[in-house]
Structure 1
Amino acid sequence: MTFVRTKLGSWQYKPNYAQSYTDERHKNKNKEVKFTKDAEAFVREKLLLDWSPDQICGYANRHSLFSISHERIYQFILKDKEKGGKLYLHLRHQNKRYRKRYGSPKRQGPIKNRKLIDDRPAIVADKKRIGDWEIDTIIGKERRQAIVTIVERVSKKTVLKKVRAKSAELVTKATVDGLKKFSDLVFTITSDNGSEFVNHESISKKLNADFYFAHPYASWERGLNENTNGLIRQYLRKGCDFSDVNDDDLIIIMDKLNNRPRKV
């Protein structure tokens, strides 16, 4: 129902007004948002930089460039694809169905002296400072090599280090090497319960940071890291042979991730 205020301040139902209001809403709902040439050029430029439609519309709206929804950008990409365009290749999933991963069991014994995320200072969850990191690994073809992925919770700064095997020794060294240049801004590190983090006490000591573990099967407790891994897979597809990936490749990926907007 639609009500309008009378001169005396009371509310009365006006059927004719309500119908016209409903008609106007439906008309606007079905009205297609059209790109200006400048908006289209901006969207195309950012897609070629591997920005997602969410990131593009968020940036454009936040900086008052133009107002558009991410759905409209997806429509633009689809029309481009139908015309033989390649913009869709810059999407994270290239229009493929994506199944969110909520963690899988790790078959190893308990990690000694681990501190659970419950003991982590509240300031970490509140994101009131820079210096709290999440860490994980992604594996290459036939699980031979891996990449250590580390991301800071507030700035979204991402660090990638390749290891020839997902062993605790190599992952420990890669973690320390990757974060030592940020040593003044490493207060906590949070990981899953993978056996590659069994040397967490060594990492803590070398970086002078506290190391915490998420609960088993609770990957959402490291949601930023999980999301970042998905973004990395935009460049390093599952089944990719990491032996073909060198440091320069990782620098390019880090540069792309660290220079595009991320959801807060």
Structure 2
Amino acid sequence: MSSITYSERIKIETFCELGLTNIQMAERLKRSPSTISYELSRCQPYQAELAQANAESKRARCGRKTKLNAKLKQIILNHLRLSWSPEVIAHELKLATKSIYNWLYQGKFEFSLSDLPEHGLRQRRNLDQRSKYNQSLGRSIDQRPIVINQRNRIGDFEIDTVVGPRGHSKAALLT
């Protein structure tokens, strides 16, 4: 179940003034007796406002702590101003790239996302041209003259290219 609300804390304070036991309070609030016991241990004598402040203080301190301190912030900011990418900075400082981007999105640096090197641009990759027929490299077999099909002249020949498996080699074999 969820944590105790401020209105429930006011009820607990009233129940304490009435002299109810932990079990009786738990039954009325539909909570576990151990939850009521823990809640009453927040302050003695129990006061709803002090208990609420205690709960909020503990809630603020829970969770994962950030690695970003003043020194690290300055180092990252200097590198960003030198046009280093967050990926390179993360690698050099042994941080997660996502952390640097999160800090940028949260506005923890006086640095605009649009000032990042090539931010938002996709890297263009060299396309493998081997599987595409290029008209300037030669003519299709359908376009050859009829006289060549007769194979009566010396010097007429046809060639073809055999390309290796994609990604392993750019070498081709002429046949």
Q: Which band: TM-score by shorter chain? A: 0.3 to 0.5
TM-score, with structure 2 as normaliser: 0.34
TM-score, with structure 1 as normaliser: 0.24
More strand by share: 1
